[in-house]
């Protein structure tokens, strides 16, 4: 029986090639989208689950409010050891210290900048699952001058994996002995280091409980819940943090501290949630967002649904062709159940063929998708049991979903009626079909509107007045390697033609530069009422003009005033803390000695117009510029048509001074764009999938209009003989479909508006959703639908009417 079904199904496929191609192609495209997104989602959800003890590992987060609120993934260096020592439920701790950023390591005669470096406790190999290929995990990081490197790093530096006992030298001349070789850390990890240096190093000891700089992880004993440990944090704070805070802030109790609106809170965050759920700045690697996982999953499902609807619509629309077969089979004794089985197996056969094609499409499009989504997904992943089983079952599910309605519809025909041909088949099920078409187009229109909004917001971000000018600024990285020569380098570059201005400072209003938060007071006594958190950026006299920032009060730093070394320029947000009016001449204070609580004062000499130094998702917080030596980055404002010429000049200058250090630079506007990579990716992916959605929907519409035009061919013939114009006929045939697209538009508009408004809430600075976006999306959907439908309408209307009528 099954053989007979498949045979009929197969021959039906071959007989109605257009119909089959439309169906299979639509299904294949959407299944490919589905597989791609499934791979993406599975990867996103798999982060940090490869650690055998993943369920018991938590990171300590701190939420600190002192004027400004800060949410950090850090603790003090003392907290980890203290937690283990005082609370037996904590089995082990491990600290990771990355605040130094990159390291320059010697290879032969040059130094290579390595970004995937960290200092870690030796317990890292016990808490996390990071297998060593060589070396003893218990002792590998015990020695202060030891380092464990990854296989890739070993190949890079030694072209061998036999590296135990070799040494690595940093630019500072410190030698580290390689005591372990570890497997490369998988890409689905919230940290990926190639070099793990020992934590047992004087430089990285702070030794107090209030400087928060370390990622601290706790491994809890079996059966211990996170809540049990979190309940201990107040006890910990009272015993260790408050005594230090008392000295610095002049407070007597935690209550007093909190009553003044301040806050210090610790919490445990499961490591398996870090990638998708943590929105803290200063994570080791930029994370994903669970919201996008949901959005993409929904998009995948909707595209699949659109393709299934194509199948339903085409099957029922061309039911006239199948009705006779149904009639005959019923006359010959087929039960309805058998017919339903037959049609379902046809749908499944089609879905299975589409699945083969989809795997091919996935294979071909995966590199491009990886590029856009910034992933390293591999096609082999789909042959692993979990996904493979799913992919094998999927055609059956899709077949069932897409085939059930046509199966019920077709198998319900009365043989007497169909065999006599007096059943108006095309019209039957018309309403339901229309509902489905509306659904398809509403989904497509929502996706189009979404894409437009994402792109508009990105455009807004890129063109917003940021309070500084990021255009034509070249940033030279790692200028601190020049040491004392850095100012000379800056001055010599400034003399080159085409350079308008230049500044030496590690602090820039783009990502990948330094940040430093400090507690200040607006009064000469540090109290909970007077203190506030503020960014403290070290700059030089040329910084403000180079960045194109605007002073609204006072003056810039100047070499003419020797007192400027204890002066500060605030941004408007910081100035606002003093209330309305002029702040120039007032003072702010900062703790200069944590032991004694001694304060240093800074005189306010100017106020700079607010500029965006974090992403546009955040409000502009208080910030103060201070004069000093910060030689991390050199930025040059270029005033030349030929930037490459200028770059060559700067590089030559660098080489003459840097003794073999690599020259690296970036453009500030590109660094700025870097901060919105996630949104740009989202934009691109949304664009692609919304185009695919509308393509698949149009495949269906194309098929549907074919059958409708065929069905009405006699009517068209008669109308033509009676004098209808081609134009009038095209209108008549297109009208019905366009009506559906318009209804879809009406349905889609409020939904899209709501969804995109939700998305925009993430940005403090955002666009207003304009009615123009909706108009554009509606117009686009309507034109595409019109183009699709009119092909058949025109073809049908142009046909020789005599020919159509003769066939009767």
Partner 1 sequence: MITIDNLEKFYRTEEVQTVALNKLSFQVKEGEFVAIMGPSGCGKSTLLNILGLLDDPDGGSFVFNGTEVSGFNERKRANLRKHNIGFVFQSFNLIDELTVFENVELPLIYTGVKTADRKTRVHEVLEKMGIMHRRNHFPQQLSGGQQQRVAVARAVVNNPKLILADEPTGNLDSSNGNEVMDLLTELNEAGTTIIMVTHSEHDAKYSHRIIRMLDGEKVTENVLV
List residues binding partner 1 (CB under 8 A).
1, 4, 7-8, 11-12, 15, 324-325, 327-336, 338, 415-416, 419-420
Least Cβ distance, residue 312 to partner 1 (angstroms) = 21
User: Are the CB atoms for 444 and 697 separated by under 8 Å?
Assistant: yes
As measured in angstroms, the least distance from the Cβ of 329 to partner 1 is 7
β-bridge pairing 531-539 and 623-627 = parallel
Q: How far is the CB of 374 from partner 1 (least distance, A)?
A: 49
What is the spatial distance between Cα 474 and Cα 641, in angstroms, rounded to a whole number? 14
Cβ–Cβ under 8 Å, residues 623 and 537: yes
275 versus 322: smaller Cβ distance to partner 1: 322
3-state helix, strand, coil in the chain (%, to 5): 50, 15, 30
Distance (Å, whole) CA 428 – CA 450: 35
Q: Which is nearer to partner 1, 333 or 581 (CB)?
A: 333
3-state secondary structure of 577: coil
Least distance (Å) between residue 432 CB and partner 1: 23
Strands (E), 384-441: none
Shortest spacing between CB 131 and partner 1, in angstroms: 57
Nearer to partner 1, 8 or 213 (CB): 8
**Residue 271 in contact with residue 189, Cβ under 8 Å?**
no
Nearer to partner 1, 320 or 633 (CB): 320
Give me the helix-helix angle, 677-711 and 713-721, nearest 10°.
70
Nearest CB to partner 1, comparing residues 49 and 329: 329
Smallest gap from Cβ 326 to partner 1, in A, equals: 10
Nearer to partner 1, 12 or 46 (CB): 12
CA distance 429 to 426: 8
Shortest CB 8 distance to partner 1, Å: 5
CB 277, CB 45: distance < 8 Å = no
We find the least distance from the C-beta atom of residue 426 to partner 1, in angstroms, to be 19
Q: How does DSSP assign 12-80, residue by residue?
A: HHHHTHHHHHHHHHHHHHHHHHHHHHHHHHHHHHTTTTTSTTGGGEEEEEEEEEESEEEEES-B-TTHH
Smaller CB separation from partner 1, 325 or 762: 325
HSE (side-chain half, CA atoms, 13 Å) at 134? 15
> In terms of CB distance, is 422 or 463 closer to partner 1?
422
**Whole-angstrom distance, CA of residue 135 vs CA of residue 148:** 9
Angle at 803 between CA 798 and CA 808, to 5 degrees: 125
Round to whole Å and give the CA distance between 632 and 506: 4
CB of 419 to partner 1, least distance (A): 6
At its nearest, how many Å lie between partner 1 and the CB of residue 331? 5
Instruction: Give least dist CB 332 to partner 1, A.
Output: 5
Angle at CA of residue 317, ends 315 and 322, nearest 5°:
60
CB 215 within 8 A of CB 95: yes
Tokens of 323: 């009705």
Tokens representing 449?
């509107």
Nearer to partner 1, 331 or 524 (CB): 331
15 versus 739: smaller Cβ distance to partner 1? 15
Nearer to partner 1, 337 or 806 (CB): 337
For residue 802, the minimal CB distance to partner 1 (Å) is: 24
| Residue-wise burial string across 692-703, b where 16 or more C-beta atoms lie within 10 A, e elsewhere | bbbbbbbbbbbb
Nearer to partner 1, 324 or 719 (CB): 324
Q: What is d(CA 171, CA 141) in angstroms, rounded to the nearest whole number?
A: 21
């Amino acid at each position: 029986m099954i053989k007979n079904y498949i045979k009929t199904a197969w021959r039906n496929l071959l007989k109605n090639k257009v119909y089959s191609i439309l169906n299979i192609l639509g299904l294949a495209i959407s299944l490919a989208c589905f597989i791609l997104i499934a791979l993406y989602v599975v990867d996103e959800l798999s982060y940090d689950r490869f650690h055998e003890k993943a369920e018991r590992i938590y990171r300590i987060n701190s939420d600190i409010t002192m004027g400004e609120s800060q949410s950090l993934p850090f603790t003090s260096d003392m907290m980890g050891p203290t937690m283990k020592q005082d609370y037996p439920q904590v089995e082990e701790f491990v600290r990771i210290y990355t605040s130094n950023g990159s390291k320059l390591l010697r290879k032969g005669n040059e130094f290579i900048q390595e970004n995937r470096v960290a200092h870690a406790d030796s317990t890292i190999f016990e808490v996390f699952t990071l297998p060593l290929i060589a070396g003893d995990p218990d002792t590998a990081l015990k020695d202060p001058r030891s380092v464990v490197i990854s296989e890739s790093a070993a190949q890079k530096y030694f072209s061998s994996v036999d590296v135990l006992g070799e040494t690595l030298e940093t630019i500072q001349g410190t030698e580290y002995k390689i005591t372990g070789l570890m497997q490369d850390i998988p890409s689905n990890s919230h940290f990926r280091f190639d070099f793990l240096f020992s934590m047992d190093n004087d430089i990285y000891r702070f030794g107090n409980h209030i400087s928060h700089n370390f990622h601290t992880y706790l491994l809890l004993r079996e059966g211990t819940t996170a809540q049990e440990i979190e309940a201990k944090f107040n006890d910990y704070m009272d015993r260790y943090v408050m005594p230090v805070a008392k000295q610095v802030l002049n407070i007597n109790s935690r209550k007093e501290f909190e009553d003044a609106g301040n806050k210090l809170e610790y919490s445990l965050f499961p490591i398996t949630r870090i990638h998708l759920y943590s929105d803290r700045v200063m994570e080791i690697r930029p994370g994903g967002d669970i919201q996008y996982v949901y959005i993409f999953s929904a998009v995948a499902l909707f595209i699949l649904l659109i393709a299934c609807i194509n199948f339903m619509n085409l099957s029922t629309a061309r039911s006239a062709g199948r009705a006779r077969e149904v009639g005959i089979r019923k006359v010959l004794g087929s039960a309805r159940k058998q017919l339903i089985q037959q049609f379902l197996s046809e749908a499944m056969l089609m879905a299975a063929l589409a699945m083969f094609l989809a795997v091919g499409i996935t294979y071909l499009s995966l590199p491009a998708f990886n590029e856009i989504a910034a992933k390293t997904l591999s096609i082999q992943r789909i042959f692993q049991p979990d996904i493979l089983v799913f992919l094998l079952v999927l055609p059956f599910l899709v077949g069932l979903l897409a085939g059930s309605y046509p199966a019920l519809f077709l198998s319900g025909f009365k043989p007497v009626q169909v065999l006599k041909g007096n059943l108006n088949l095309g019209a039957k099920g018309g309403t339901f079909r229309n509902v489905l078409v509306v659904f398809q187009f509403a989904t497509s229109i929502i996706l189009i509107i979404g894409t437009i909004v994402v792109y508009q917001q990105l455009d807004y971000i890129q063109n917003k007045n940021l309070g500084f000018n990021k255009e034509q600024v070249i940033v030279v990285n790692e200028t601190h390697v020049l040491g004392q020569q850095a100012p000379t380098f800056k001055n010599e570059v400034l003399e080159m033609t085409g350079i308008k201005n230049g500044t030496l400072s590690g602090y820039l209003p783009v990502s990948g530069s330094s940040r430093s938060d400090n507690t200040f007071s607006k009064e000469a006594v540090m109290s909970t009422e007077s203190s506030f958190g503020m960014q403290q950026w070290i700059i030089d006299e040329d910084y403000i003009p180079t960045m194109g920032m605007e002073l609204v009060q006072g003056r810039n730093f100047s070499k003419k005033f020797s007192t400027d070394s204890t002066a500060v320029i605030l941004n408007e947000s910081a100035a606002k803390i003093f209330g309305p009016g002029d702040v120039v001449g007032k003072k702010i204070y900062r703790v200069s000695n944590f032991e004694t609580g001694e304060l240093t004062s800074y005189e306010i000499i100017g106020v700079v117009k607010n500029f965006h130094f974090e992403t546009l998702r955040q409000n502009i917080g208080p910030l103060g510029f201070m004069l000093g030596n910060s030689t991390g980055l050199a930025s040059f404002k270029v005033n030349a048509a030929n930037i490459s010429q200028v770059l060559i000049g700067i590089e030559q200058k660098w080489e003459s001074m840097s003794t073999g250090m690599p020259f690296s630079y970036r453009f500030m506007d590109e660094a700025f764009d870097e901060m919105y990579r996630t949104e740009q990716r989202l934009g691109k992916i949304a664009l692609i999938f919304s185009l695919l959605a509308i393509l698949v929907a149009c495949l269906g519409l194309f098929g549907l209009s074919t059958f409708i035009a065929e069905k009405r061919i006699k009517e068209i013939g008669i109308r033509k003989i009676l004098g209808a114009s081609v134009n009038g006929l095209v209108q008549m045939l297109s009208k019905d479909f366009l009506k559906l697209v318009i209804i879809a538009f009406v349905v889609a508009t409020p939904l899209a508006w709501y969804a995109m408004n939700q998305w925009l809430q993430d940005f403090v600075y955002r666009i207003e959703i304009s009615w123009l976006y909706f108009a554009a999306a509606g117009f686009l959907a309507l034109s595409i639908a019109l183009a699709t439908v009119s092909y058949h309408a025109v073809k049908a209307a142009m046909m020789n009417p005599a020919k159509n009528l003769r066939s009767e």
